[in-house]
Each structure stands twice: as structure tokens, then as C-alpha cells.
Amino acid sequence: MTTSSREFVYGKFSDFYGDPSTIIPPPTLLGQRELGFLLLKERIMLRHKGFANIRDLKLFLGEAVPSDVYRSCAYYENPTVEMDKKGWLGADLVFDIDADHIPTSCDKLHDEWACSKCGFSGKGVTPEACPICESQKFNTKTWPCEVCLESAKEETAKLIDMLGKDFGFSDKEVSVFFSGHRGYHVHVENEAVKTLDAMARKEIVDYVSALGLSLLGGEAKGRSARRRRSRGFSLHNFGWNRRLKLGLRDFVLKATKEDLINAGVKRNYAVILRNKELILKRCIDEGRWSSVKGVSVGTWRKLAEYVKDLESAKIDTVVTTDTHRLIRMNGTLHGKTGLKKVEFPAKHLEDFDPFEEAVAFKEGTVKVVVSDVPKFRLGGRVLGPYKRQTVEVPTAAAVLLICKGRAEVAS
Ligand SMILES: [Zn+2]
Ligand SMILES: [Zn+2]
């Protein structure tokens, strides 16, 4: 980033935090939270900060001008002292759904990664470790693409559905946010979850991601297990049983030849396609899995495994189990986009438009030199694609392009 680009972004972030009309909704019990800031100019992280009220925090933000503002999911007696002396009182249950963890059809078009140790590079989702040298540090180039954000939204919808129907959390206890970059955050504030330890949170992670789901009995060995397996399985109307039942119903109803082949049914797909109505009624609704000739219990196991993957929610598991995690604060800017983290009602998830509702800079235009960017939509405008050209774009787009390393302010 050139000096003039850095100064431009600093100026915009400074205006945002200095503006008296900017609203930063404080988290529950702000005084018990640890706050952290990444400073825009100095590029250093300040941690272990605490604020008694939102007015003091706003004053600080106006002076310090951070690129990113974080607050703890945890509540502490003393949030500003070192970690093991803070006095942990509990933590909200948080989920992070990020396009970085969801393979999509377009990630190979706009995402790249390069190992920072050996330089090996590739396209699409960044691997956990470098296939050449096993280093876990990468330089990545990503884009908050509309298609990727739409798939993150679908994962979020599945998660919210589980939190309500399977765990019984009320709408009031579940808050949903756009992260400001490539995904969504879901927070649960409830007395029963507040003091859960990391192990208990891992159990919840396993549930929503269907890890170790055993009702299909595929793991057990021995003759009796084999006999049980061949008899099929029963799906009742709660939890994952219900999810698999509805998921199978939905899948079979809409399935094409290609869908069935993808699901591993390579030979007898025609029988399923010919007998959809009968199969839905006898097999799925009545649980008589082997009652349609040509569709075996084995086929149903394959389909159930496939549907399990479709119905599970792809979350970043590390975030949920960390009881000391700092997470971006609602109403603040994301340093990689200049978009705001914003909260919206869960029931508006489907209609929520991050490229409209998270826009912070709504006035003026700026001339920028763009290196390379796909076509994108922001604040009611469709822009790009641009490749090595100078263009005048709305301020929000200029901030986004510069923060993503795709453009510099034109001199
Ligand atoms: Zn490497
Ligand atoms: Zn994409």
C-alpha cells in the first residue's frame, strides 16, 4: 500500500469513528469485556483494554483510529490485567461462518494462496498446511465475492435452525451478524451456556457439524453390528434423526441422475428416479428401507451419509471452542474491506444484503489505479471488472479495493 493510499484509508476510518452520528452498539456487560485494537498507522495490536462505558470507548476510537476493533466473548472480573489473573466469569457461545472454510465453485477464480516459507502457491481454499514444507503460514489473496457470501449465508441458516429447533434457544438469545468481510457471526447469550468449558463447546461444534454422528451405525464391527446394519435404521422426529429424514426427503424429491451419481449411487439411480413417490412414502416416511426392489439398505446408508454433509453447518470450529476468543465488535469497521460488522434479525437472513447494509462510506468518489478485480456490486452500483486501469469509483468501493490490496489512490 502506498503512503497516499494508507493516508486516504486512515482519513476515512478517522472520519467514521470521529463522527458523532456513528453508532457502536456495546456488547452485554461492556465493563466485563476485554477489548483489543489493531492500530491502523502503527500496525500494532493493543490487547487487555477495558472500558466502563461506550462513550469512553468512542472517544478512544476517535483518537486511536484502529483498523479493527475486537472484544472478548468472555466476561471477566478484571478484563485489563494479564490473562491468568483476569478472573474468567463465563463466555457467550459464538460461531464463525467464513467463506474461507467453504469450498465454492468460484473460489479458484478469485482466491490465491502462497506459502510464506517456501513460496509454493495455489488457487482456491487455503490448505491447513503447505503440501511441500508443512508450514502453516500463508499469504492469501481473497475477495468478498457474492456467490461465496451466499454459501456462507446458507451455512448460517442451517446453524440458526439447529440452535432454535434442536437446542431450544429463543430468538432473543441468538444474535446474527455480518462479519464485515467474508462471512457471518452467530452469538448465543444464555445463562446455561455461559459457563460451559472448551470440551462442552466442542460437543456443540461436533453436533452442528455432524462429526461422529453414529445413528447410522457405520462404525461398529462384528456380526451383530452387521446384522443391525443390514436391517436398516430408524429415524425419529427429533434432532439429527429429523434432519436426516427431511434431508433425504428433500434430496430424493429433487434428485437428478447427476445428483444421485454424486451421492455415490452409480448403478441403480434409474430405479430411484422412476419410483420417487413410492420411495418417499414407503422408505422415508414409513422407515421400510428395503421395501422397494433395487434400492437396498446399503444405498440408503450412502444417501444418508451424503445428506448428512449437506445438512451439517460448516463453521470455523476453533472459534467456538476458544473461551477467551476476541471477536470483532458490532458496528465497527473491518480493516480488510471498510465494511461494517452489522447485526440483523435472524428472520431477515435470507433478504440481508451485505453489499448494501454494511456500507459505511456513502458519499463522494475517488480516483484509483486498480490492479485486478472481478466484477462486484456495492452500495447500489455494479462495478468492474477492472484490470490495470485508472477509474473513478464511489468512496466505499475505493476503500474496499485499497484495503483488499487491489488498488492504490491515483496520484
Ligand atoms: Zn511451504
Ligand atoms: Zn466466490
Please write the tens of the pLDDT for every residue from 359-370: 999 999 999 999
Q: What pLDDT, in 10s, does the model give residues 53-97?
A: 999 999 999 999 999 999 999 999 999 999 999 999 999 999 999
133 C-alpha to center of ligand 1: Å?
A: 4
CB 144 within 8 A of CB 133: no
User: Full-prediction pTM beyond 0.95?
Assistant: no
Residue 220 has pLDDT above 60, yes or no: no
Which amino acid is it at 63? E
CA of 108, nearest ligand number: 2
- Closest C-alpha among 335, 325, 336, 321 to residue 71: 325
CB 72 within 8 A of CB 90: no
Residue 219 has pLDDT above 80, yes or no: no
For 197, counting Cβ atoms within 10 Å of its Cβ (0-12 exposed, 13-18 middle, 19+ buried), the class is exposed
What average pLDDT score do residues 93-107 get? 90
Reported as a pLDDT band with limits 50, 70 and 90, residue 233 is: confident
Rounded to 10 degrees, the C-alpha dihedral 86/89/92/95 comes to 50
132 C-alpha to center of ligand 1: Å?
A: 5
DSSP bridge pairs for 383: 376
DSSP bridge pairs for 113: 122, 140
120 C-alpha to center of ligand 1: Å?
A: 5
137 C-alpha to center of ligand 1: Å?
A: 8
CA of 117, nearest ligand number: 1
Task: Give the three-state DSSP class for 115.
Answer: strand
